[in-house]
């Protein structure tokens, strides 16, 4: 398998108990721990509690980069990608999600069996509060041809599930820092436009936390950036196209009061918009 890296960005609003759960899920993978490297970017000043947590895990963190001020997720992830050593595979993980114990084994196994695949994601198992409180199982398109159709409507990957082969960044590039939010979708549009071999596994490798904080983050400012990315991406793939109605509808949802968007997010009806 070779060495792998998990790239994680942490900022002041992250919860320390959730970060600890995320780190423990990486440390408890079924593959040899010495092959799994945790790489963290502290994006701006952190709370004393978060700093204490990073100090607590100091012996398990392979690399810690600190931004003096908050620079955003794209900048932080690009810094981590640029600092990689000899890792063959690069895993994304948000600071509030939980890897299943066989995540590394499953995704690296699949990519070793399919050497043409440059990035692999998976379904996600949603949960609230505690991992045992399971919600929706969300699935995504299986391969690049299916993604080329699906991306006209919605995000074809759950960002926190993806595993990159190092060559992905050489071919497609890194995250676009022109977009402070939802930069993953812009990266997928570039990959799909270049017909890069991509895949999603039906089997979930991650528990995805659905929280009130998540709903609050999906606000109008996020919606506006997302709208711009989808409109630009759809136009580059298809020109003026009827699929442009989907980003318009998602933007309309973002305009609704938080109580209503929260109600939508907690129900399976949101799958219509992939909100």
For residue 165, pLDDT over 70 is answered with yes
Q: Which of 170, 173, 3, 180 is nearest to 87 (CA)?
A: 3
| pLDDT above 90 as % of the chain | 79
Q: What is the CATH number of domain 4-210?
A: 3.90.550.10
Distance of CA 43 to the CA centre of its chain: 16
Q: CA 53, 54, 59, 60 torsion: positive or negative?
A: positive
Q: Which of 95, 86, 89, 83 is nearest to 12 (CA)?
A: 95
The model's confidence at residue 273, banded by pLDDT at 50, 70 and 90, is: very low
pLDDT digits (tens, 9 = 90+) for 23-44: 999 999 999 999 999 999 999 9
- Gap between the Cα atoms of 73 and 61, Å rounded: 19
Q: State residue 143's pLDDT score.
A: 95
For residue 264, pLDDT over 80 is answered with no
The model's confidence at residue 105, banded by pLDDT at 50, 70 and 90, is: very high
Average pLDDT estimate for 44-53: 98
- Gap between the Cα atoms of 156 and 31, Å rounded: 28
The model's confidence at residue 10, banded by pLDDT at 50, 70 and 90, is: very high
Q: State residue 220's pLDDT score.
A: 67
Q: State residue 117's pLDDT score.
A: 98
Model pTM score: 0.89
Element (H, E) at 199: strand 198-201
Q: State residue 132's pLDDT score.
A: 86
Neighbours of 176 (CB within 10 A): 15
Query: For 223-261, b where at least 16 C-beta lie within 10 A, e where not — what string?
Result: bebbbbbbbebbeebeeeeebeebbeebbebbeeeeeeb
Q: State residue 270's pLDDT score.
A: 46
Look up tokens 């939980």; give the residue.
Answer: 98
CA distance readout (Å), 209 to 36, 134, 169, 235, 240: 23, 10, 27, 32, 36
- Residue 187, both tokens: 């990266």
Altogether, the residues listed in the chain come to a count of 275
Report the alpha-carbon angle 1-174-125, nearest 5.
60
The residues spanned by each domain of the chain are 4-210, 212-275
The answer for residues whose C-beta is within 8 angstroms of residue 234's C-beta and 6 or more apart is 152, 241, 243, 244, 247
Report the alpha-carbon angle 176-178-180, nearest 5.
90
The model's confidence at residue 274, banded by pLDDT at 50, 70 and 90, is: low
DSSP β-bridge partners for residue 40:
8, 64
Kindly report which listed range (102-106, 142-146, 156-160, 212-216) carries the lowest average pLDDT score.
Answer: 212-216
The model's confidence at residue 234, banded by pLDDT at 50, 70 and 90, is: very high
- Residue 78, both tokens: 């690009």
For residue 221, pLDDT over 90 is answered with no
Q: Are 31 and 37 in contact (CB under 8 A)?
A: no
pLDDT digits (tens, 9 = 90+) for 59-77: 999 999 999 999 999 999 9
Q: State residue 224's pLDDT score.
A: 85
- Residue 209, both tokens: 């936390």
């Amino acid at each position: 398998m070779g060495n792998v890296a998990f790239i994680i960005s942490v900022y002041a609003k992250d919860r320390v108990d959730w970060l600890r759960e995320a780190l423990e899920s990486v440390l408890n993978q079924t593959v040899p721990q010495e092959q799994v490297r945790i790489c963290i970017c502290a994006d701006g000043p952190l709370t004393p509690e978060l700093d204490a947590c990073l100090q607590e895990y100091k012996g398990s963190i392979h690399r810690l980069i600190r931004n003096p001020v908050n620079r955003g997720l794209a900048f932080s992830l690009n810094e981590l990608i640029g600092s990689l050593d000899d890792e063959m595979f690069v895993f994304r993980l948000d600071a509030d999600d939980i890897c299943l114990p066989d995540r590394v084994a499953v995704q690296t196994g699949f990519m070793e069996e399919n050497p043409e695949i440059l990035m692999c994601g998976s379904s996600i198992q949603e949960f609230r509060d505690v991992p045992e409180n399971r919600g929706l199982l969300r699935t995504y398109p299986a391969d690049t041809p299916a993604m080329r159709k699906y991306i006209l409507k919605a995000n074809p990957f759950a960002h926190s599930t993806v595993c990159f082969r190092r060559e992905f960044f050489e071919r497609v590039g890194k995250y676009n820092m022109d977009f402070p939010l939802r930069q993953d979708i812009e990266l997928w549009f570039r990959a799909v436009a270049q017909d890069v071999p991509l895949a999603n596994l039906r089997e979930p490798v991650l528990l995805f936390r659905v929280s009130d904080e998540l709903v609050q983050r999906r606000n109008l400012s996020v919606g506006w950036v997302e709208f711009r990315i989808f409109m630009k991406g759809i136009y580059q793939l298809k020109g003026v196209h009827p699929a442009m109605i989907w980003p318009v509808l998602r933007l309309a949802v973002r305009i609704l009061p938080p109580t209503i968007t929260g109600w939508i997010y907690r129900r399976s009806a949101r799958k219509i918009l992939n909100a």
